Chain A
Amino acid sequence: METLVAVISANGLITAFAVVGITVWISYLMSARLTAGRIHGSAIAIILGLAASYWAGSVTGGSRGVVDIGVLAGIGLMGGGMMRDFGIVSTAFGVHISELRKAGVVGVISIFAGVIVSFIVGALIAVAFGYRDAESITTIGAGAVTYSVGPVTGTAIGASSDVIALSVAAGVVKSILVMIGTPLVAKQIGLNNPQSAMVFGGLMGTTSGVAGGLAATDPRLVPYGAMTATFYTGLGCLMGPSILYFIVRALV
């Protein structure tokens, strides 16, 4: 047993391939048997992943889901930023330039609209909860943009650490909700073609959320959504501590 654990721990990435492979297999089985294919297997796999992460987080008290369980540390490598970005870029193979051109302008507009709208929503909720200083309102608004924009903005304008933590939590809620919610609302919001996927990526912006949500909806839409989403965090980090902060400061 000790030897087995040692082998598993020493080969983290390989263990991750095996564990994720089994998870995906179970998910597709559940999709076919329990939902008659109505809920896509990849959506179930992502939800199983999130559930495992919640369970692991409550048991270990760590912040990285199942990665904090020693034998599953390899999941962190497989699901980390490096592999995620490599995977996302590979999905662009076979993308049609003509589709990218079609949605070019509206794609750019959607990135700006996404950052500004999410910021306003987050800021309004901060105000509703009694925050009155420009730094806290801006930081929580930035957290509603994405969980990276929140701390970047908060640190830059000198918000308190508990407000920064709140902004990260808001961003994580957003990211997870996009992963789970996208397949559920895809039909209603017309998310079935490259153009709307680019708008979707620009509006949502959270790379993990968009990547997961579109994968669970229709993997062929992933490259289009990811293309716009990857510019979103940069724009958020640009606007949060500058123009958005100045506007909030002028208003309060």
Chain B
Amino acid sequence: MIIYGVALLAACLLTGLYVGELLGQLLGVQANVGGVGIAMLLLVLASSTQRFEPLVTGASATGINFWSAMYIPIIVAMAASQNVVAAVDGGLLALLAGVAAVVVSFALVPVLSRFGPQSDPLPPLDSTPGTPGTLATPSKTSGGV
């Protein structure tokens, strides 16, 4: 049943967000600490546990993969509801602070990536709208930028 996969996904998110809120309260922070990350870990764990197999295979998996494929459209909708005007009108200080933080952080990615065990580059991306989280088979076109 497709709904089983969707329900598992929902249960993971709710549990993660709840734990994240509790963590925030524990630390005295007005924020959810890692709720989504915890939810992702729960889903990863569930999908590799025998007990949850009926919820992550067959039709149930379709329910999770559907949302995974809806991810980019959701992000497009998110982009369309950002306060872009405020970012542009924030003046030079806001612009510089934002830009400088991004540039320095970009520059640090290769520096920090050098530490610890390395992972292999992913195979070239399929040019069709991708399904996040699943490894696409290598194709003759490379769609990445």
Question: Which residues of chain A have a CB within 8 Å of any CB of chain B?
Answer: 16-17, 20-21, 23-24, 28, 32, 37-43, 45-54, 56-58, 63-67, 72, 75-76, 78-80, 83-95, 97, 99-100, 102-103, 105-106, 109-110, 113-114, 117-118, 121-122, 125-126, 129, 140, 143-145, 148-149, 152, 156, 166, 168-179, 181, 183-187, 189-196, 199-200, 202-204, 207-208, 211-212, 215-223, 226-231, 233-238
Bound together, the chains give a CA A149 to CA B32 distance in angstroms of 12
With contacts A97-B44, A118-B104 known, is A219 near B145, CB below 8 A? no
With contacts A46-B76, A211-B78 known, is A64 near B83, CB below 8 A? yes
Question: Which residues of chain B have a CB within 8 Å of any CB of chain A?
Answer: 9-10, 12-13, 16-17, 20, 23-24, 27, 29-37, 39-41, 43-45, 47-48, 56, 61, 64-65, 67-68, 70-102, 104-110, 112-113, 115-122, 125, 127, 129-136, 141-145
29 A-B residue pairs with Cβ-Cβ distance under 8 Å, sorted by A, are A24-B72, A45-B76, A49-B76, A64-B83, A75-B80, A89-B39, A90-B64, A90-B67, A97-B48, A109-B112, A114-B105, A143-B94, A166-B91, A166-B93, A169-B90, A172-B82, A172-B84, A175-B82, A192-B122, A199-B109, A199-B113, A215-B71, A216-B145, A219-B133, A222-B133, A223-B132, A230-B37, A234-B23, A238-B31
> Which residues of chain B have C-beta atoms less than 8 A from A129's C-beta?
92-93
B125 nearest CB neighbor, chain A only: A218
By the criterion CB–CB under 8 Å, are B9 and A237 in contact?
no
Query: How would you classify the secondary structure of chain A's contact residues: helix, strand, loop or mixed?
Result: helix
Tell me how far the C-beta of B27 lies from the nearest C-beta in chain A, rounded to whole angstroms.
6
Bound together, the chains give a CA A188 to CA B95 distance in angstroms of 23
> Which residues of chain A have C-beta atoms less than 8 A from B83's C-beta?
53, 57, 63-65, 172
> Which residues of chain A have C-beta atoms less than 8 A from B71's C-beta?
87-88, 90-91, 215, 219, 222
> Which residues of chain A have C-beta atoms less than 8 A from B115's C-beta?
105-106, 109
> Which residues of chain B have C-beta atoms less than 8 A from A67's C-beta?
80-81
Bound together, the chains give a CA A184 to CA B92 distance in angstroms of 23
